[in-house]
């Protein structure tokens, strides 16, 4: 594969580092007062938008300069900085300020230390990244110090850390802006690792991905070209700003010279109609959302209710992420909101992962409609890989992005129409996982049989390429595949969807997890109302789930159904189901089920606690999380003989 010039369009001031776009835009007369980011705070009473704050390109450029100068008073270029700030414009400014200073930033969602077990990720991040400084609000800093004060290990983690209060930082930045004084510095270089981006944790403990400034800049340029963004674009995003698509769209906004309207995930969850109102009010033409948001908005979008009448006719790109993308959910969304101007041609099924910075592909084209897309196993495609089209966009895949399907066991390329693991080679590829050398070699240095000179990222996603236009369908995670009693393989999202549709009035959509424990297929489902205590209703609900799966999926037998309270099923910060964590929670006896029923001969495989047997069976006890995750992930990356030996170790 060859990599062509990255200057896709001469009308854009392409730069090797995203931060270098800022002064270019800020110094153009027409951009000085142009809004780069707008933060919207929603009311709690569902009557509309309550407040907003703005950040122009000139202001963002000045604040990035001042923040960089302030941080470099006590830090050096290349130091690691942990960012623990809530979503908002301050977080945006700090991220760009760290890049301008040449610091390695680690933005994560501040865990709620008042909740049990929420400190584990913070401890893991501190021990893995070993930051020189932490940026947060003073109240949160005080809470961290108090929380870890009683632990010797905690005190050791915090030893020699520099604490930077956001409030103090703002005052210092204001002073620096008034004085026009700035420290001279070299800034971030293209080859520098400027970001540690944690994976979502959908299939295992989140891992720290090392992203260079060059890879990040290439990735957002590729996304800009794919979605046809320019300075007239208005982006609407409520995604988490800490990693993956939410973070990428901050960078993409600046690279495109666009305007981005931001809100918080919490605001969307409380009132999904807010998303549609923002599109209406700001005439948004591009918005990224996880695919599971569509059925939620269909249920709670309330077309005819609210202070703002909806108008979605401005949308050109409704970017769907968090594969798989169900055709039925998309069609239902289109049918529901076409009456308020939604055009089906705006649907943009897409694919991305942290190991490729974020963006990989989309099946959207500005000259075609989503109605022309085929489906495969009830899913929509996330890419078109054909080079037969005359569109310039196709050059991106021909020259920059090599996406292939590989036999997971033999590492051989498979023909179109055959399922396999998705591999990617691109200038956007990250460099590896921090602290996981073996896993880095397995994931980021994939090599085909007979083509060892090329290096690929192994995604651990199952996919297939179909048709003349070579549509790529992302089917699900290799690690999540369930092998049934009759030896068929099925992805758990199919079982979860069927389970929900068996009784949508009582179950929570997007809050159901399916997995196997030994030979038993288990479904854990959240109830909408946990106060439901009628034993007969709960039994019929469990039986209905089992019967629906049996009928829909060729006699797949569910051996255990567990009904749990709202909020019990484990999820990532971006809303993906964590089947592995939900399984561990069940196996560890951490659920307090509202109801559970075991079916058929599976009783003998399920001890009364439904717990522990998977690990205790071999007398191993619990395996340390980091080691367990590396071994499990590695088991999907190696030839079959090695996988068997690793799994026997587990």
Higher pLDDT, 125 or 115: 125
Please determine, for residue 186, whether its predicted confidence score (pLDDT) is greater than 80: no
CA distances from 534 to 377, 530, 545, 548, 560 (A): 37, 11, 17, 21, 19
Residue 567: both structure tokens together: 């909020």
Question: ω before 324 within 30° of 0 (cis)?
Answer: yes
| Nearest Cα residue to 70 out of 147, 146, 139, 171 | 171
* Of 366 and 410, the one with more pLDDT: 410
Burial 47-73 (b: 16+ CB within 10 A, else e): eebeeeeebbbbbbbbbbbbbbbbbbe
Average model confidence (pLDDT) for the chain? 85
pLDDT over 70 (residue 371): no
CA separation, residue 581 to residues 139, 321, 490, 576, 649 (Å): 30, 21, 20, 11, 20
Look at residue 181 in the predicted model and tell me its pLDDT.
59
Q: What is the pLDDT of residues 126-173, one digit of tens each?
A: 999 999 999 999 999 999 998 888 777 778 889 889 999 998 888 877
Region 425-433: mean pLDDT is 97
Confidence of residue 249 (pLDDT cuts 50, 70, 90): very high
What percentage of the chain's residues is helix, strand, coil (to nearest 5)? Answer: 35, 25, 40
pLDDT band at residue 383 under the 50/70/90 scheme: very high
Q: What are all long-range contacts of 226-229, with beta carbons under 8 Å and residues at least 24 apart?
A: 226/359, 226/361, 226/362, 226/364, 226/393, 226/396, 227/286, 227/317, 227/319, 227/348, 227/362, 227/364, 228/316, 228/317, 228/366, 229/256, 229/258, 229/286
The separation between CA 258 and the C-alpha centre of its own chain, rounded to angstroms, equals 22
**Strand 104-107's sheet: what is its strand order?**
162-165, 133-136, 80-84, 104-107, 193-198, 208-212, 432-433
Across the range 337-347, mean pLDDT stands at 96
Whether 630 shows a pLDDT value over 50: the answer reads no
- Residue 527 in this model has a pLDDT that exceeds 90: yes
| Average pLDDT of span 502-526 | 95
What is residue 184's predicted lDDT score, i.e. its pLDDT? Answer: 61
Asked whether residue 103 carries a pLDDT value surpassing 60, the answer given is: yes
What mean pLDDT is predicted for residues 406-426? 96
Of the given ranges (31-40, 197-206, 593-602), which has the lowest mean pLDDT?
A: 593-602
| Whole-number Cα distances in Å, 515 to 106, 493, 577 | 32, 10, 11
Q: How high is the pLDDT of residue 171?
A: 82
CB atoms under 10 Å from CB of 389, counted, come to 14
**Could you read off the pLDDT of 329-339 as tens digits, one per residue?**
999 999 999 99
* Token reading at 511: 């809050």
What gap in Å lies between CA 360 and CA 549, rounded to an integer? 33
Give the mean model confidence (pLDDT) for residues 637-643.
Answer: 35
Task: Determine the pLDDT at residue 620.
Answer: 35
Instruction: Collect all residues with Cβ–Cβ distance below 8 Å to 118 and sequence separation of at least 6.
Output: 111, 112
What does the block give as tokens for 227? 């979605």
Q: What is the pLDDT of residues 60-77, one digit of tens each?
A: 999 999 999 999 999 999
SS3 169: helix
Are 439 and 433 within 8 A, CB to CB? yes
Q: What local confidence, expressed as pLDDT, does residue 613 receive? A: 36
Looking at the predicted structure, is the pLDDT value of residue 641 above 50?
Answer: no
Q: By mean pLDDT, which of 45-49, 67-71, 528-532 is the weakest?
A: 45-49
Question: What is the pLDDT, as a whole number, of residue 368?
Answer: 62
Over residues 344-361, mean pLDDT: 95
Task: State the pLDDT at residue 326.
Answer: 95
Question: Is pLDDT of 481 > 50?
Answer: yes
SS3 478: helix
> What is residue 8's predicted lDDT score, i.e. its pLDDT?
39
Mean pLDDT of 18-45: 90
Residue closest to 109 by CA, chosen among 96, 97, 119: 119
- Report d(CA 42, CA 268) in Å as an integer: 9
* Secondary structure letter of residue 354 according to DSSP: G
Give the mean model confidence (pLDDT) for residues 314-336: 94
Mean predicted confidence (pLDDT) in 377-405: 74
Query: Within 10 Å of residue 584's Cβ, how many Cβ atoms?
Result: 18
Q: Measured between alpha carbons, how far is 152 from 396 in angstroms, rounded to an integer?
A: 52
Return the ∠ at Cα 332 (arms to 329 and 336), rounded to 5°. Answer: 140
How far from the centroid of its chain's Cα atoms is residue 253's Cα? 18
As to burial, measured by CB atoms within 10 angstroms (0-12 exposed, 13-18 middle, 19+ buried), residue 181 is: exposed
Question: Which residues touch 372 (CB under 8 Å, ≥6 apart)?
Answer: none
8 Å CB contact between 310 and 276: yes
Question: For residues 207 and 128, is the Cβ–Cβ distance under 8 A?
Answer: no
* 593-605 average pLDDT score: 74
CB atoms within 10 A of CB 159: 7
Six token digits for residue 349: 């099924």
Percent of the chain with pLDDT over 90: 68
pLDDT digits (tens, 9 = 90+) for 264-312: 999 998 999 999 999 999 999 999 999 989 999 998 877 877 778 999 9
Share of the chain above pLDDT 70, in %: 84
Q: Which CATH entry fits the domain spanning 481-617: 3.30.70.330, 2.60.40.3880, 3.30.300.30, 3.30.390.30?
A: 3.30.300.30
**Where residue 629 falls among pLDDT bands split at 50, 70, 90?**
very low
Residues in Cβ contact with 551 at an 8 Å cutoff, skipping those fewer than 6 apart:
none
Q: What is the pLDDT of residue 11?
A: 55
């Amino acid at each position: 594969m060859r990599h062509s010039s990255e200057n896709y369009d001469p009308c854009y001031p392409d730069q090797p580092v995203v931060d270098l776009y800022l002064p270019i835009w800020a110094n153009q007369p027409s951009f000085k007062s142009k809004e780069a980011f707008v933060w919207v705070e929603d009311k709690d009473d569902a009557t509309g938008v309550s407040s907003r704050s703005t950040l122009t390109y000139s202001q963002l450029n000045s604040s990035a300069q001042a923040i960089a100068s302030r941080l470099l008073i006590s830090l050096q270029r290349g130091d690691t900085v942990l960012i623990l700030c809530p979503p908002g414009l301050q977080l945006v400014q700090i991220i760009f300020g760290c890049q301008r200073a040449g610091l390695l930033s680690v933005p994560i969602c501040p865990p709620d230390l008042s909740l049990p077990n929420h400190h584990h990720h913070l401890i893991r991040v501190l021990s893995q990244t070993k930051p020189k400084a932490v940026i947060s609000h003073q109240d949160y800093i005080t809470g961290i110090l108090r929380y870890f004060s009683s632990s010797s290990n905690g005190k050791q983690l915090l030893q020699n850390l520099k604490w930077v209060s956001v409030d103090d930082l703002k005052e210092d930045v204001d002073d620096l802006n008034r004085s026009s004084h700035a420290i001279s510095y070299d800034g971030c270089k293209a080859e520098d690792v400027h970001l540690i981006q944690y994976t979502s944790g959908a299939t295992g403990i989140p891992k720290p991905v090392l992203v260079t400034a060059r890879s990040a800049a290439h990735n957002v340029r590729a996304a800009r070209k794919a979605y046809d963004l320019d300075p007239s674009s208005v982006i609407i995003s409520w995604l988490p700003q800490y990693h993956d698509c939410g973070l990428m769209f901050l960078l993409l906004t600046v690279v495109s010279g666009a305007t981005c309207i931001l809100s918080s995930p919490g605001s969307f969850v409380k009132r999904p109609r807010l998303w549609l109102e923002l599109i209406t009010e700001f005439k948004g033409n591009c918005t990224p959302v996880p695919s599971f948001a569509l059925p939620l908005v269909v249920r709670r979008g309330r077309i005819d209710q609210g202070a703002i009448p909806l108008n979605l006719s401005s949308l050109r790109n409704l970017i769907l992420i968090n594969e798989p993308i169900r055709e039925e959910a998309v069609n239902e969304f289109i049918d529901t909101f076409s009456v308020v101007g939604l055009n089906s041609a705006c649907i943009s099924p897409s694919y991305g992962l942290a190991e490729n910075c974020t963006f990989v592909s989309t099946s959207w084209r500005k000259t075609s409609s989503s109605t022309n897309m085929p489906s495969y196993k009830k899913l929509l495609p996330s890419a078109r890989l054909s080079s037969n089209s005359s569109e310039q966009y196709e050059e991106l895949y021909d020259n920059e992005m090599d996406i292939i399907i590989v036999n997971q066991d033999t590492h051989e390329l498979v023909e179109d129409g055959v399922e396999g693991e998705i591999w990617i080679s691109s200038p956007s590829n990250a460099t590896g996982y921090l602290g996981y050398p073996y896993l880095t070699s397995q994931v980021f240095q994939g090599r085909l049989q007979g083509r060892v000179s090329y290096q690929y990222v192994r995604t651990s996603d199952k996919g297939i390429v179909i048709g003349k236009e070579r549509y790529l369908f992302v089917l699900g995670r290799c690690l999540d595949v369930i092998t049934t009693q009759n030896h068929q393989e099925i992805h758990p999202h199919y079982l979860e969807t069927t389970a929900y549709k068996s009784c949508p009035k009582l179950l929570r959509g997007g809050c159901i997890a399916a997995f196997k424990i030994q030979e038993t297929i288990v479904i854990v489902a959240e109830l909408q109302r946990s106060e439901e205590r009628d034993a007969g209703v709960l039994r019929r609900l469990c039986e209905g789930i089992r019967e629906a799966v049996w009928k829909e999926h060729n006699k797949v037998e569910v051996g255990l159904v567990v009904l749990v309270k709202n909020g019990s099923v484990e999820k990532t910060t971006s809303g993906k189901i964590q089947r592995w964590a939900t399984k561990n929670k069940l196996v560890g006896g951490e659920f307090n089920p509202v109801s559970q029923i075991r079916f058929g001969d599976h009783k003998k495989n399920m001890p009364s606690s439904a717990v522990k047997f998977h690990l205790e069976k071999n007398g191993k006890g619990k395996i340390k999380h980091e080691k367990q995750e590396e071994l499990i992930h590695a088991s999907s990356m190696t030839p079959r003989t090695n996988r068997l030996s690793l799994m026997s170790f587990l």
